[in-house]
A and B are shown apart, each in its own frame.
Chain A
Amino acid sequence: MDPADVSLRNTTYGMFVALGRAPSAEEVAASTGSTAVDVLAGWRRLHDGHALVLDAEGTEIRMANPFSAVPTAYRVLAHGRWWYANCAWDAFGICAALDTDGQVRASCPDCGEPLAITVQGQHLDQPSLVFHCLVPAQRWWDDIAFT
Chain B
Amino acid sequence: MNLFRSEEHVDRWLGSRSPGAMLPVTTLNALARGWWGDRLDPGWTPHSREQNQAVLEGLGLVGGFWQLG
Contact = CB atoms under 8 A, between A and B. Distances in A.
A and B part of one assembly: yes
Interface of A: 1, 6, 9-10, 13-14, 17, 49, 51, 65-66, 74, 87-99, 104, 106, 108-111, 113, 115, 117, 119, 122, 124, 126-141, 147
Contact of B3 (A49, A106, A122): A106
Q: Which 3 A-B pairs have the closest CB atoms?
A: A93-B36, A92-B32, A87-B1
B51 interface: no
A111 to B, nearest CB: 6
Contact of A141 (B6, B17, B35, B69): B69
Contacts, number: 172
Question: Main secondary structure on chain A at its contact with chain B?
Answer: mixed
A128 to B, nearest CB: 7
Question: Main secondary structure on chain B at its contact with chain A?
Answer: mixed
Given A96-B37, A98-B40, A131 B27 contact: yes
B7 A130 contact: yes
Nearest to B46: A1
Interface residues of B, number: 46
Given A14-B42, A97-B39, A133-B1, A117 B9 contact: no
Given A93-B32, A147-B1, 10 more contacts: A1-B45, A88-B1, A88-B2, A93-B39, A97-B38, A113-B5, A119-B29, A131-B2, A133-B21, A136-B20
A113 B12 CA distance: 14
Nearest to A130: B4
B54 interface: no
B5 A111 contact: yes
Given A92-B29, A108-B9, A132 B20 contact: yes
B60 interface: no
Contacts of B65: 133, 136-137
